[in-house]
Amino acid sequence: MIATESGLRSLSLGDRFRSDKEDVVASFYMPAFSAATSYSRAVGYFTSTSMALFARGIEAFAARGGNMRLVASPQLNEEDVIDIERGYDVREVVERATLRALDLEQRETVLDGLGLLGRLIAEGRLDIKLAFVAQEGRVGVYHEKIGIFRDAFGDLVAFTGSSNETYGGLMANFESVEVYRGWVAGDGARARRLEADFQALWSNQTLHLSVERFPDVARERLLTLANDRPTASLPGRDDALTPAPVVAFGPARLAIPDWLTIRDYQREAVESWLRQRGRGILKMATGTGKTKTALIAAVQLAGVLHHREEPLILLVLAPLQHLVDQWIGEIESFGVRAVAVYESSRKWLPVVDDQLNEARLGQRPVVAMVATNSSFAGKKFQSVLSRITQPLLIVADEAHNLGSSNFRLSLPQNATYRLALSATPERWFDDHGTDALIDYFGPIVFELGLGSAIKMGALCRYTYVPRLVELNEYETSLYVDLTGQIAKRLAAGDSLDDDNPDSPIGFLLRQRAGILGHAEGKLRQLRSDLAARSDSWFQLVYCAEGRRPTAPEDLRGPNQLKDVLNLVGNQLRMPTHLYVSETLREERRVLLRRFGTGHDLQVLVAMRCLDEGVDIPDARVGYLLASSSNPRQFIQRRGRLLRRAEGKEQAEILDYLAVPPSGTPINFDVERSLLARELERANEFSRLSENYETTLKILRPLKERYQLMDM
């Protein structure tokens, strides 16, 4: 059926191809490519996988001198659409969306296909344009799907079809195409009309559509892949680019990847844990590689069990879903595909049961599962755990979260091996919970503090800049009133250590923290600091939670998060985006990827959700508008900024501390006690900074005012 010397007319092409009758790609696309000399295609969404898939079809086509033109719709997300509608440079937004699509795939076959396309672009055989609807200030998706083949004899085949140029559209979905052969009576006029429509589209002469040329940066990305893969050729099978099924794990073994260099302290940590018979806590500073250290330990344990002809059941617990996703990727780099245990049990329960059965039968050396704390504590997963009789290793990431009464009662007693990871395993004002963690996991077997980590180069050096911001007159009035109420509660026997937000003093302390965190003067100082760093990238702003109190009983004042976003994005015109708990997981991955490029997102504005576990090593400047007095929070935030990254020598932390004006009539003893708690953070930050002497000078007047020079 495939002709190599003759033209399109020699093919046995019908007028319709449908998935219930044949493989549309094999029966129509491939033969047409074999006979044509030019191919013009307008489709819906553009993805890297679709381009690689078509590369297989046009490889022989291009070898005969064929040329291809492609018009596709960039995958614009909500932010892209809003930016275009607000008048941002269209080409910059389209470039951003195209790079995002190219960056989503990293499989070798896909990269080979993209490299082939790069060679075709370099040879002048492929040209790409991107189209979207632009009408009355609104932006929409270009959905039309038409295609035209021409051969050396001037014959024409045009078609319309429901498939996008995506893997799903071409291979996985149920699709059909209607074919019009130029030499067949009744088809010719339709074929020529479709060709005229495409020509108008290509020339950007179609009403209500905007057609942009393919971004230079994306073009360069494809050309680079072409240089890196000069002879790459795609397999001929129709399933060559099929993504690996999520549940097709195979009997893989854990192994340390070739690219990983084990640091001396990681080796020492693993050896210390093994000497404690596989139980204990690793107290390691944020950013020092606790995840990889834990997986190195799992590799060593799996090797021992293999010699005993026993499988390893590995269970990792993480507090949040995006941390589960990170662990899945890390475990895969060690050779094993893990099962994600969250959301509906219908997704993970059958896979877990099958793998555990295979392990019992000696057919699977390692079963790896990663669960959120909440899914782990649920009845269905607890039932699974209770039936495990093989050696079980439980790894608890951010283990301090498991010290609550709800979670610690769910920890499996049949876990032979136990490993807890945390920079701060001690629970804040919860000695009972801390003791319960130690009773279960064992003692701290290895500790790597921040100072040691910086000294050995595991974390980068940093400067610390405390900013003292005075409360305005109205904030001071609220603050004085709250301090008086707190003094009365203390006189009645309440304690400042009461962290229950629903207790009388806890409620007052939370309101007081709201006034300090949302102090109006912080925004003025932040504006000045951001403006001074307007040319810098990789910046994080941590905002206060909730809203600025407008009266002691009212927590519905202005929202700092929105104020900061307006300040950074609209007033200072610095590319920025929110990163909050409501941000979807897939969007978070895209945001962090964009942030890490150093030429797309300049500032991330966050509230709490960057505190635990998020891997964002490129961050260099952090603005702390508010942090709780809980040391875990500010230690986590500092750790986000101190991770090593290429080209990153030093980080900068700006910490905004709000205080009442000097001379404010206030209960001195209470205010001194409260301020001492907050200055603990400043002392902790400054102690290991590169500019310790400078921070002492900045904080000295405040310490003298409240007689805290001994801190």
Is there a domain that residue 129 lies in? yes
3-state SS, residue 30: helix
The residue type at 435: D
| DSSP 3-state of 604 | strand
Strand partners, 178: 16, 160
Residue 186 sits at the vertex; the CA angle it makes with 181 and 187, to the nearest 5 degrees, is: 20
- Joined together, the tokens standing for residue 446 give 């290895």
* C-alpha to C-alpha distance for 631 and 286, rounded to whole angstroms: 13
Give me the residue label for tokens 């020492």: 268
Residue 171 belongs to what domain range?
8-228
What is the helix (H) or strand (E) element at residue 403, kind and residue range? none
Contact 370, 318 (CB under 8 A): yes
Query: Do residue 636 and residue 679 come from a single domain?
Result: yes
- Pairing state of beta strands 209-213 and 126-135? antiparallel
Q: DSSP E strands: which ranges in 151-309?
A: 156-161, 176-181, 209-213, 279-284
Rounded CA separation 403/433 (Å): 5
- Statement to judge: residues 187 and 224 lie in one domain: yes
Is 328 within the bounds of a domain? yes
Q: Do 148 and 206 have their domain in common? A: yes
Q: What are phi and psi of 353, to 5 degrees?
A: -60, -45
693 in the Ramachandran plot: left (φ > 0), alpha (ψ -120 to 50) or beta?
alpha
| Amino acid identity for residue 489 in this structure | R
For residue 343, count CB atoms less than 10 angstroms from its CB and return exposed for 0-12, middle for 13-18, buried for 19 or more: exposed
Tell me, yes or no, whether 465 and 445 share the same domain: no
Contact by Cβ (8 Å): 392, 415 = yes
- Rounded CA-CA distance 197/40 in Å is 11
d(CA 338, CA 88): 42
Place of tokens 């941590």: 542
Give the whole-angstrom CA distance, residue 367 versus residue 298.
12
- At residue 564, what is the residue type? V
Q: What is the pLDDT of residue 244?
A: 35
**How many beta carbons lie within 10 A of that of residue 150, not counting itself?**
21
Pairing of strands 312-318, 392-396: parallel
Taking alpha carbons only, the member of 125, 470, 422, 141 closest to residue 290 is 422
505 located within any domain: yes
* Domain shared by 484 and 449, yes or no: no
Q: Which long-range contacts (CB under 8 A, 24 or more apart) does 82-87 make?
A: 84/134, 84/139, 85/137, 85/138, 85/139
pLDDT at 447: 93
312-323 core/surface letters (b: 16 or more CB in 10 A; e: else): bbbbbbbbbbbb
Q: Provide the residue type at 681 as one letter.
A: R
Q: How far apart are CA 682 and CA 690, in angstroms?
A: 14
Residue 461: left (phi > 0), alpha (psi -120 to 50), or beta? beta
Question: Residue written as tokens 């875990």?
Answer: 632
List the structure tokens of 337.
Answer: 């595909």
Which letter does DSSP use for residue 172 in this model? I
pLDDT at 311: 93
Residues 222 and 277 in one domain: no
446 and 554 belong to one structural domain:
no
At residue 76, the pLDDT reads 65
The answer to whether the beta carbons of residues 225 and 115 sit under 8 Å apart is yes
Instruction: Output the domain CATH number for residue 540.
Output: 3.40.50.300
Domain of 12, CATH number, reads 3.30.870.10
**CA distance readout (Å), 537 to 339, 360, 561:** 36, 52, 20
Residue 406 lies in a domain: yes
Structural contact between residues 651 and 620, judged by C-beta atoms closer than 8 angstroms: yes
Q: Within a domain: residue 511?
A: yes
Asked if 620 and 614 touch (Cβ cutoff 8 Å), the reply is no
| Joined tokens for residue 300 | 């060593």
Answer for the pair 386, 304: CB distance below 8 angstroms, yes or no.
no
What's the pLDDT score for residue 68? 85
Least Cα distance to 467 among 671, 652, 707 occurs for 652
* Cα separation, 588 vs 118, whole angstroms: 29
In a domain, 2, yes or no: no
Cα–Cα distance for residue pair 227/340, rounded to 1 Å:
37
Indicate the SS3 state at residue 611.
coil
Instruction: Give domain status of residue 637, yes or no.
Output: yes
How far apart, in whole angstroms, are the C-alpha atoms of residue 571 and residue 333?
43
CB count in 10 Å sphere of residue 267: 12
DSSP E strand stretches across 441-542: 444-448, 461-470, 539-542
Of the residues 409, 428, 455, which one is the last residue of a structural domain?
Answer: 455
**Contact status, residue 367 vs residue 311, Cβ threshold 8 Å:** yes
Angstrom distance (rounded) from CA 235 to CA 240 = 6
Task: Output the CA–CA distances (angstroms, integers) from residue 611 to 542, 607, 644, 651, in the order listed.
Answer: 9, 8, 17, 17
210 and 275 belong to one structural domain: no
- The number of domains in the chain is 3
The tally of CA atoms less than 13 A away on the side-chain side of residue 19 is: 12
Q: Residues 44, 191: one domain?
A: yes
Tell me if 539 sits within 8 A of 516, measured CB to CB. no
Run of H or E residues at 669: helix 668-687
Q: How far is CA 246 from the centre of its chain?
A: 19
- CA proximity to 541, closest of 570, 519, 568: 568
Nearest to 561 by CA among 622, 511, 605: 605
From 228, 243, 278, the end of a domain falls on: 228
Relative orientation angle of helices 321-333 and 585-597, to the nearest 10 degrees: 60
Mean pLDDT of successive 10-residue stretches along the chain, which has 711 residues:
66 83 76 87 65 58 80 68 65 72 58 70 82 70 82 92 46 67 92 93 87 76 71 46 36 84 94 94 88 95 88 93 88 92 88 87 89 92 93 92 82 94 70 83 92 88 94 92 90 77 82 88 96 94 78 60 92 90 76 86 81 70 77 68 86 92 86 83 87 91 85 64
* Whole-prediction pTM: 0.59
- Are 434 and 468 members of one domain? no
Phi-psi region of 707 (alpha: psi -120 to 50; beta: other; left: phi over 0): left
- Rounded CA-CA distance 320/326 in Å is 10
- For residue 616, CA distances in Å to 79, 645, 652, 675, 705 come to 21, 9, 15, 31, 39
Asked if residue 700 and residue 575 are part of one domain, the reply reads yes
Q: Collapsing DSSP states into helix, strand and coil, what is residue 174?
A: coil
With b for 16 or more beta-carbon neighbours within 10 A and e for fewer, the 43-64 pattern comes to: bbbbbbbbbbbbbbbbbebbee
Inside any domain, residue 387? yes
Q: What are the tokens at 684? A: 């902790």
| 410, 433, 455 - which closes a domain | 455
Q: By C-alpha distance, which of 550, 381, 410 is closest to 477?
A: 550
Dihedral angle sign, alpha carbons of residues 90, 95, 101, 104: negative
Which position has the token pair 């009403």? 207
The answer on 110 and 67 residing in a single domain is yes
